[in-house]
Structure 1
Amino acid sequence: METKDRILEGAWQLFLTYGIRNVSMDEIAKHIGMSKKTIYQYFSDKDDLVYQLMQIGMSEQTKQMQEIAESSENVIEELYRIMIKTKEMFSQMNPLLLFEMKKYHPKAWEVFSQCKDREMKEHFIQTLRKGINQGMFRSNIDVEILARVRMEVVQLIFDPKVFPPAQFNFWEVNEQIFEHFLYGIITLKGLTLLNQYKKQNQETIASAQY
């Protein structure tokens, strides 16, 4: 693995666990077994490191969403797979990560905001249109309005003033809000498929426990 990639991966592991503010460059250097001098050859400061991490993270997120969309048989499978993928990501993420990024690292936050408002929103608009064409979503929904609502809700989930981490489970909040959103637009055909995927997933989890 290249030196820069080692730094990025090691820093991301620490940020996921402890949040951004609680991790110093000294701790990153110690975690990856590298001198701070070497780290500063690739990153001007911690803010630059967080910024580059977010650039890579958003690019990878967009790529994964596209791959799931292309390999799914229908829009319900696509959204369910994205929900499972999101659960895996959220389960290992410190809930304060994005809040701290917004407060202390505005350049990195701008990368997240632009991706949310452009690529992620456009992808969700296409997903909603696909769902309408497949008969999975109601035909009278306004995809532009709902896509904007969904993107803002994603950001809201990370606000500790609205959902204090000590009181709410990060993933459960996302799951509840997403299902509430989905049930508002889904047709009977889509709901039948969704319940099938849920049942299959529960059976898979149950069999893995034995």
Structure 2
Amino acid sequence: MEDKKQFLQKATELFIEHGSKTLTMDDMAREFGMSKKTLYQHYRNKEALIEEVLDFKLNDIVEKMQKLDVEVENAVERMFCRDEQMEKAVSSNKSMMIRQLVKYYPAIYHKHVANFSEKFTEVLVKNIEKGRKQGVYREDFNAEINAKLFIQMMMSYDSSPIFEVNKINRHDFNIEVMMLYMNAITTEKGKEVLKKYNLK
């Protein structure tokens, strides 16, 4: 098998393009110019390959987010960096791959969502800890619960029975969620920084 990272990158793209159910192990072997037997030497079944692809993509996104955490000093400003990784991860909920995961591989989907939530919660909690040291975030709230609430709200766009996606676009929705969250956790000092991000 070629370089593992390159393999997983291409496999991710194939699953996103064709769907987790539609793409077969035969298709995958053909795309990589290997026999199906060789592919099965690396992955006992398609489910194992899907799980590794999901972990690979999630770890890649989290790594890029952590890089931004180091590059942007102010915790409030960090939350408003155009975080393409976060937006892609959240909006990928509606991809063919994810829709088919929900329908045909619900156990894998639920495990992935739990993993996603845990890793993104860690990133947000670190941001909260940093912001508290800088005096821009309040001390009187549960960091982990608030981080999970933020993730839950961001992910609810595609599955909520309340929001009509044909009337509210994702960008506007994301801004409202972000401002709700940031106004809830910032101190007066933090709100001063927040003023320049009043995106209305």
Partner of 1:44: 44
Unaligned runs of 5+ in 1: 200-210
Partner of 2:140: 140
Cα distance change of structure 1 residues 10 and 160 upon mapping to structure 2, 3 Å threshold: farther
AA at the equivalent of 1:110: K
Which segment drifts farther, 159-168 or 173-182? 159-168
Which segment drifts farther, 49-58 or 150-159? 150-159
1:5-84 map, 5 Å: 5-81=5-81, 83-84=83-84
Unaligned runs of 5+ in 2: none
How far apart are the structure 1 equivalents of 2:102 and 2:4?
Answer: 24
AA at the equivalent of 2:14: L
How far apart are the structure 2 equivalents of 1:137 and 1:154?
Answer: 20
AA at the equivalent of 1:178: M
How far apart are the structure 2 equivalents of 1:172 and 1:80?
Answer: 14
Partner of 1:114: 115
8 Å contact 2:93–2:158 — kept in the other structure?
no
How far apart are the structure 1 equivalents of 2:188 and 2:116?
Answer: 32
Q: Secondary structure at the match of 1:41?
A: helix
Deviation at 1:51, TM superposition (A): 0.6
How far apart are the structure 2 equivalents of 1:22 and 1:163?
Answer: 30
AA at the equivalent of 1:44: R
Partner of 1:205: none
8 Å contact 1:98–1:158 — kept in the other structure?
no
AA at the equivalent of 2:94: P
AA at the equivalent of 1:159: S
8 Å contact 2:8–2:56 — kept in the other structure?
no
Residues 152-192 of structure 1, C-alpha deviations (whole Å, 9 max, x = no match): 33443453767687776555544442333223333454344
8 Å contact 2:150–2:177 — kept in the other structure?
no
- TM norm structure 1: 0.69
Partner of 1:95: 94
How far apart are the structure 2 equivalents of 1:166 and 1:112?
Answer: 25
Which segment drifts farther, 127-136 or 30-39? 30-39
Cα distance change of structure 1 residues 171 and 31 upon mapping to structure 2, 3 Å threshold: farther
Deviation at 1:53, TM superposition (A): 1.0
Cα distance change of structure 1 residues 160 and 13 upon mapping to structure 2, 3 Å threshold: farther
AA at the equivalent of 2:193: L
Partner of 1:177: 177
Cα distance change of structure 1 residues 132 and 50 upon mapping to structure 2, 3 Å threshold: same
User: Among the aligned pairs, what percent are the same residue?
Assistant: 24
Which segment drifts farther, 153-162 or 37-46? 153-162
AA at the equivalent of 1:114: N
AA at the equivalent of 2:150: R
Which segment drifts farther, 160-169 or 4-13? 160-169
Cα distance change of structure 1 residues 28 and 159 upon mapping to structure 2, 3 Å threshold: farther
Count of aligned pairs between the two proteins: 197
- TM norm structure 2: 0.71
